Structures are given as structure tokens and as C-alpha cells.
């Protein structure tokens, strides 16, 4: 006999609640983020906390068992040995040390920044080193954070867009991007700016062609290239 | 991605001891990419980034020693490399993106894997998936009658036509580099031309490394007095793209004649393609268009094009002729 809609819903829900989440879906394992916690408590909502809240509400409405089970999945914070496939690593990011326990060795630097540390200024585009949206600085040099495992970066000095400048104290490259409107949707922008900021210290030639070549690892699907080149040119002057 | 255990090696000995059935990881630009696709599934990763193999040193005999961990960008911008091995600097700077060049290492680039779409397809070599003899020996080669516009025309076999993607390797082939490796059975050196293997009927075996062996450095011989070297890369767009055809030429001209020449080609071979045929057609001959054309014909004489990559034969010839002109001007 055919499954009724109600039976099907129950079956899917029970499957979903038992399903083990892939590392990049384990949002319940997030490190606590003080700023957003306090924002929530004080009733101030960022776009991110608002959207996250919507997601959680959706889960609560659709799959109560998952939400109830959440505390049990949360990471242990005591001194337990790492199990196979996990590691404890201390990452130095934007001048601050973060000790991550039980970090899945498969977690890329990109996913660790975004999902564990909530440093979501670094974006995931292609996840294969082809688009440049995930560009960060490691020891002052630009790299694709999607093609590097986080466990490999103990002792490295990592800089993300959050550490490059602040709203009231922009890095000259950030200011130049604002001035020249070097974006449209903005998704590639943090990668573009991290790439361009690193370029300032590289031995590349003086022309616009040199800028284009040096920015070849960052794709902008809105096509803001002309303004990006103008911004980089100004910041190099 | 498969779970793996991770070890950070503090010395070459410890790295070799920890290798087992795992893989060494340095820049990770190829390996992490392929692990995400399921092409590589190492149970263990041995991180070799702490090993003291990150130096570029002049050798007493005038050559250059490049540590396996020297990043592509550092090698390309090194003053000695730019001045004495220009072809290598140019090749490196024509490859990948600045971010990837900051990560990718000399040793890793020797082992860069092909960009054949069937090799990279997650289902390749599995029942019901595309056949790929490189992934799963005996599963067939889908590229033979599939999408193969970017595939090789030299050194192919009926089992594999995947192109070797590296630019750096093409320059090193022309420079006659020597690869130093260390493994469970000790140290040994491998001449560049013998390092990469033709696919034959074992396309899964890509190089001369034995299990557990680690590339420790690459030595470049002293440049021959009076030589000039050039790398030219032709591709679908001007940057951040693999070669459709490329050429590396090291040449010395005396009295209007070619006294010394080394020729290697990229984008057209199943391995970095050293062309002794072209060198033979050039050595002792006058520097003129007819000589270059004969060399190009000789270099591509054994080409086996297929439906969609036949254009590469003429493209590679023109690429080589242009490079020879530049190197002998």
C-alpha cells in the first residue's frame, strides 16, 4: 500500500534526526561567539544571528528530536584525548589565539574560520582553489583557505578580512574598494581585498596589465573588474 | 572526504618512518582538491612543511639547489632563477594563480596530477561511473571518445591520453634538472627525463618514485655560458589557465648558427615533453625560419591527435617556432 503523506513525513523526519552530519554541516559544534551571544541577550540582532535564528526555528518546527539531542552532540571542553581523525590545534588569527579541541582533521582552514570561529567574512565559492573568494593571509602571504587543512596551521599567523581593517579604520585597500565601487553583490569582495592587500608587497610590475595578472586568482561574476583595477591602482600609488 | 589521521613530521627521517600507506602533504593544492573529489583517499597525511627543505642555494659547481618545499612564487622571484634560469621563472609565473603559487611547492609540482575531467569525476573508475585507467586500472578510458579537446597528442596510449598539466616541469625538462629523493632504501637521484613515466598500459604509475620515497630537492646544472632561455604558453585565456601548448627553449647562438639547444613542450604530452627530435633538427643549423619549421615538424612527427584535439598539432608547432625565434633573437 502506498505511503501516506503523513507516514512519509514521519519516516523522513526520523531518518533526518538519526543521520550523522558531515563536518561542514555540524553547526551545532560551533565555538561560542561572545559578541553574538551578547547581541542575542541584549535583543540586538545582526543579519547573521537573525538568519541563524530562522534556521533554528525551522529545525525546531520540522525536527524536534534533533533540537532535543543537540546538547549531547556539543563538544567536550575538558582535557580528553583526541579520537582518531580529530586533533587539538591552536590557531593564531588576527592576533588572537584560538584553541580548537576535537577539530576534525578534514576541516579546511576556510570551514574552520567560518563554522567553528564564526569569522564569516571569508567566503566559500568554489571550494577548489579556483575562485579566490576564500583568500586569507598566512604569514603575510595570500593563500586559498579552502585548499588547506586547519590542522596544518598551528604556529602560523593568519589574517582574515576581519583583521585587515575596522569600519572606523579601514585598510587603504578597503577604502579604495569603497571609493571606486569595486563590487556589485559583494560576495567575492573580501577575497578580492585580501588578495589585493597582499599584492602590495609582491614584486609585480607597475601597469594595469600587471594588476590584472596579479588578481587573476579572484573571480568576480558581477564583472566589477574595471573598478577593482582602479581601486588597486589607487592603493598602489 | 574519507577520515584520515594527521602527523606533522619534524625531520626527514620521521617523515619517511611515518609515511606507511599515507601521503606526504606540503602545499596541498593538488592533494586537498583531489581528496574533496574522492580521487585521493589517504588513511594518513604526513605534513612535511616543517622539514628543512625550503632553501634555494648556489652549488659550488655553479648550479642551483632547490629544496622540495620552496614555494612556486619564491622560486619564480628568486634573483638567481630570474637571471640565470629565466625559462623556469617564466614557466612558474604562467601557472595557476598567485594564491596557489604561494602554496604550491617544487616537490609537489613534480607530482601534479592531470586535469582530465574523467580522472577528476568522483564516480570515475567505479561501477556505473566513467572509466579511468589512471584511477582504476582496467576500467577503460572515457576520454578516448569523450571530451578530449585539452588532452595529449604525444606519448599517449590506448589506455590514457591525459595531459601532464605542470608548467614548471616543462622548464625543468629543458634545463635538465636532477631530482633528489630519499626513501626507506636510502637516497638516490633521478634525471628529470626519467622521473615521469609514459602511460603505456599502466597509466596509474606516473613517476619513478618508489613507495615511501620523498622528493627532497631538485638540482639545476650550471647554465651553459651564452645561452638564452624562454617559456611561451598558449591557452584559452591569458591568465590562470592550463596550457593548450607551451614550449621551453634553452639555446645558444654563435655565428648565426645554433650551437646548443634544449627543447621541451607542455600541454601536448602525457608527461613533460622533452623533444630530442627538435634538438637534433636544430643543432648546428642556421638561425632561420626554415630551421625552426623543420624542428617543429620533427617535434610533432609522432603526434597522435584525436577528433577534438587535432588543432593542437599545428598550435604546438607554431608555439615552438615562436619560442625558438624568441630564444635565438
From the list B101, B164, B94, the residue with the least C-alpha distance to A147 is B101
Q: What are phi and psi of B220, to 5 degrees?
A: -105, 130
Q: A61 pLDDT exceeds 70?
A: no
| Residues on chain B touching A132 (C-beta within 8 angstroms) | 97, 99
Q: Do B98 and A85 touch (CB under 8 A)?
A: no
Q: Do B97 and A216 touch (CB under 8 A)?
A: yes
| Residues on chain A touching B75 (C-beta within 8 angstroms) | none
Q: B233 pLDDT exceeds 80?
A: yes
pLDDT at residue number B86: 98
Instruction: Write down the mean pLDDT value for chain B.
Output: 97
Cβ burial of B180 (10 Å; 0-12, 13-18, 19+) is buried
> In the sheet where A157-159 sits, what is the strand order?
A96-104, A86-93, A157-159, A135-138, A141-144
pLDDT at residue number A26: 40
Higher pLDDT, A75 or B136: B136
pLDDT at residue number A55: 52
pLDDT at residue number A71: 40
Nearest CA in chain B to A22: B1
Q: A69 pLDDT exceeds 50?
A: no
Q: A67 pLDDT exceeds 50?
A: no
Q: What is the mean pLDDT of residues B155-166?
A: 98
pLDDT at residue number A7: 62
Nearest to B103 among A85, A104, A144 (CB): A144
User: pTM of whole model > 0.90?
Assistant: no
B33: distance to nearest CA of chain A, Å?
Answer: 6
Tens-place pLDDT, residues B40-73: 999 999 999 999 999 999 999 999 999 999 999 9
pLDDT at residue number B308: 98
Tens-place pLDDT, residues B187-221: 999 999 999 999 999 999 999 999 999 999 999 99
Tens-place pLDDT, residues B261-302: 999 999 999 999 999 999 999 999 999 999 999 999 999 999
Cβ burial of B217 (10 Å; 0-12, 13-18, 19+) is buried
Q: What is the mean pLDDT of residues B229-257?
A: 97
Asked whether the ipTM of the predicted complex exceeds the cut of 0.90, the reply is: yes
Nearest to B103 among A105, A147, A195 (CB): A147
Paired residues of B157 in beta bridges: B160
Higher pLDDT, A82 or A42: A82
Q: Do B98 and A143 touch (CB under 8 A)?
A: no
Amino acid at each position: 500500500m502506498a505511503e501516506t503523506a503523513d507516514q512519509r513525513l514521519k519516516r523522513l523526519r526520523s531518518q533526518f534526526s538519526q543521520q550523522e552530519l558531515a563536518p561542514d554541516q555540524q553547526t551545532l559544534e560551533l565555538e561560542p561567539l561572545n559578541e553574538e551571544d551578547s547581541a542575542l541577550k541584549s535583543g540586538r540582532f545582526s543579519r547573521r544571528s537573525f538568519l541563524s535564528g530562522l534556521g533554528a526555528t525551522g529545525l525546531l518546527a520540522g525536527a524536534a528530536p534533533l533540537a532535543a539531542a543537540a546538547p549531547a552532540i556539543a563538544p567536550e571542553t575538558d582535557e580528553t584525548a583526541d579520537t582518531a581523525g580529530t586533533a587539538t590545534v591552536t590557531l593564531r588569527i588576527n592576533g588572537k589565539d584560538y584553541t580548537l579541541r576535537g577539530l576534525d582533521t578534514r576541516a579546511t582552514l576556510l570551514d574552520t574560520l567560518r563554522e567553528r570561529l564564526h569569522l564569516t567574512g571569508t567566503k566559500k565559492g568554489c571550494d577548489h582553489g579556483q575562485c579566490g573568494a576564500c583568500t586569507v593571509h598566512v604569514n603575510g602571504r595570500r593563500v586559498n583557505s579552502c585548499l588547506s587543512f586547519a590542522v596544518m596551521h598551528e604556529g602560523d599567523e593568519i589574517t582574515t578580512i576581519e583583521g585587515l581593517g575596522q569600519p572606523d579604520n579601514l585598510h587603504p585597500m578597503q577604502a579604495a574598494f569603497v571609493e571606486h565601487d569595486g563590487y556589485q553583490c559583494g560576495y567575492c569582495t573580501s577575497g578580492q581585498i585580501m588578495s589585493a592587500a597582499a599584492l602590495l608587497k609582491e614584486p609585480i610590475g607597475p601597469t594595469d596589465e600587471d594588476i590584472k595578472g596579479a588578481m587573476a586568482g579572484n573571480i568576480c561574476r558581477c564583472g566589477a573588474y574595471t573598478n577593482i583595477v582602479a581601486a588597486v591602482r589607487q592603493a598602489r600609488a | 572526504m574519507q577520515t584520515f589521521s594527521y602527523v606533522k613530521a619534524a625531520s626527514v627521517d620521521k617523515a619517511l618512518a611515518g609515511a606507511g600507506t599515507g601521503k606526504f602533504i606540503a602545499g596541498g593544492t593538488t592533494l586537498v582538491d583531489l581528496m574533496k573529489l574522492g580521487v585521493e583517499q589517504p588513511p594518513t597525511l604526513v605534513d612535511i612543511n616543517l622539514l628543512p627543505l625550503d632553501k634555494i642555494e648556489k652549488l659550488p659547481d655553479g648550479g642551483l639547489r632547490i629544496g622540495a618545499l620552496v614555494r612556486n612564487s619564491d622560486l619564480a622571484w628568486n634573483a638567481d632563477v630570474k637571471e640565470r634560469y629565466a625559462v623556469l621563472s617564466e614557466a612558474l609565473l604562467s601557472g595557476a594563480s598567485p594564491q596557489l603559487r604561494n602554496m604550491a611547492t617544487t616537490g609537489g609540482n613534480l607530482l601534479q596530477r592531470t586535469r582530465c575531467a574523467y580522472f577528476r569525476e568522483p564516480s570515475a573508475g567505479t561501477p556505473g561511473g566513467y572509466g579511468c585507467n589512471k584511477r582504476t586500472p582496467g576500467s577503460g578510458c572515457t576520454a578516448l571518445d569523450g571530451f578530449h579537446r585539452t588532452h595529449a597528442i604525444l606519448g599517449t596510449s590506448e589506455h590514457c591520453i591525459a595531459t601532464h598539466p605542470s608548467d614548471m616541469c616543462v622548464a625543468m625538462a629543458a634545463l635538465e634538472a636532477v631530482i633528489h629523493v630519499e626513501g626507506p632504501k636510502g637516497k638516490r637521484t633521478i634525471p628529470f627525463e626519467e622521473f615521469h613515466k609514459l602511460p603505456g598500459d599502466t597509466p596509474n604509475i606516473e613517476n619513478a618514485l618508489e613507495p615511501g620515497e620523498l622528493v627532497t630537492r631538485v638540482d639545476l646544472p650550471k647554465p651553459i655560458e651564452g645561452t638564452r632561455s624562454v617559456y611561451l604558453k598558449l591557452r584559452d585565456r591569458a591568465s590562470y589557465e592550463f596550457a593548450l601548448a607551451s614550449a621551453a627553449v634553452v639555446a645558444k647562438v654563435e655565428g648565426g648558427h645554433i650551437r646548443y639547444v634544449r627543447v621541451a613542450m607542455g600541454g601536448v604530452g602525457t608527461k613533460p615533453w622533452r623533444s630530442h627530435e627538435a634538438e637534433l633538427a636544430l643543432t648546428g643549423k642556421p638561425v632561420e625560419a626554415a630551421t625552426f619549421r623543420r624542428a617543429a615538424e620533427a617535434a610533432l612527427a609522432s603526434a597522435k591527435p584525436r577528433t577534438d584535439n587535432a588543432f593542437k598539432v599545428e598550435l604546438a608547432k607554431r608555439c615552438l617556432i615562436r619560442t625558438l625565434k624568441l630564444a635565438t633573437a
